[in-house]
Amino acid sequence: MPNQRREDMLPGDTVPISTRREFLRRAAIATALVSPAAFTGCHVLGAAGKNKLDFGDDFGLLNLMLVLETTEVRFYERVISAPPRDLRPGEFEILRDIKANERQHLRFLKRALGPLRVKVPASNFSSVDFTSRRSVLETARNFEDNGVATLNGAGRRVKLPEFLTIAGKLVSVEGRHAASLRDMLNPGSRDFAGDDVVDENGLDRAITPDESLRRSSKLLVNPPRIVGI
């Protein structure tokens, strides 16, 4: 890829840094991300403590996404290692792609958070029947719809434009997953963007971090609390 194009694509280019304070703020965060070793106290940026997601800054959102994506990756890995026997042709490959996408998202989040990363709770998949195509696809669909709604809702509180851009890069991939899973569950229907998720203004759902965790809570052992909102 030519340099010029990469420059075009850098999210930092989308909004000019207008003030000295803004520049310093971003530089501080950039430094923290580039050299986590130089960064001794997680509290400096108001990071989350034990089993809490602190939305006092953007790391709360990244940590919420870390919790959701980690849970998703554990789920998809289990599905791929022992797929339901009644999957239809082509569906295994789709689930394998989705797993790969979520692993990449998780990888990004881990690196972006560095030492600010919270401990992700253990997963509880007792509500999922891993031998049933329908149970697996419905669980996956709920993950993806929830991810879309969480990232859309996060637009209300994300502070750094760079993180808004990152959220945007992830959310449309989650939307593509959600539509695919919905279409697999009800092929040829309007469900890929059904009236249960898209309203009369053509708007997808947007939910608060609390609502997002509540919807995922049955899959999490001892879910974290949201603070700082």
176 binds another protein (CB under 8 A): yes
177 binds another protein (CB under 8 A): yes
CB of 95 to another protein, least distance (A): 12
104 binds another protein (CB under 8 A): yes
217 binds another protein (CB under 8 A): no
> Closest CB to another protein among 54 and 163?
163
CB of 173 to another protein, least distance (A): 6
Q: Which position among 134, 203, 214, 225 is part of the footprint of another protein (CB under 8 A)?
A: 203
Burial class (CB in 10 A: 0-12, 13-18, 19+), 132: middle
User: Is residue 204 left, alpha or beta, with left meaning phi > 0 and alpha meaning psi from -120 to 50?
Assistant: beta
192 binds another protein (CB under 8 A): yes
Phi, psi (rounded to 5 degrees) for 124 = -125, 100
Q: Which position among 118, 128, 136, 151 is part of the footprint of another protein (CB under 8 A)?
A: 151
Judged by CB under 8 A, which stretch of 39-47, 125-133, 135-143, 153-161 contacts another protein?
153-161
CB of 11 to another protein, least distance (A): 7
122 binds another protein (CB under 8 A): no
11 binds another protein (CB under 8 A): yes
Distances (CA, A) of 131 to 80, 88, 127, 201: 11, 13, 12, 38
180 binds another protein (CB under 8 A): yes
Per-residue 3-state assignment (H helix, E strand, C coil) for 177-226: HHHHHHHHHCCCCCHHHCCCCCCCCCCCCCCCHHHHHHHHHHHECCCCEE
> Closest CB to another protein among 128 and 192?
192
* CA–CA gap between residue 111 and residue 34 (Å, rounded): 9
**Count of chain residues binding another protein (CB under 8 A):** 72
Please, where are the H alpha helices in 35-160?
A: 58-81, 91-113, 133-154
Helix (H) or strand (E) holding 53: strand 52-54
> Closest CB to another protein among 129 and 204?
204
Q: Which position among 42, 47, 95, 166 is part of the footprint of another protein (CB under 8 A)?
A: 166
Amino acid at 138: E
- Is the torsion defined by CA of 143, 147, 150, 153 positive or negative? negative
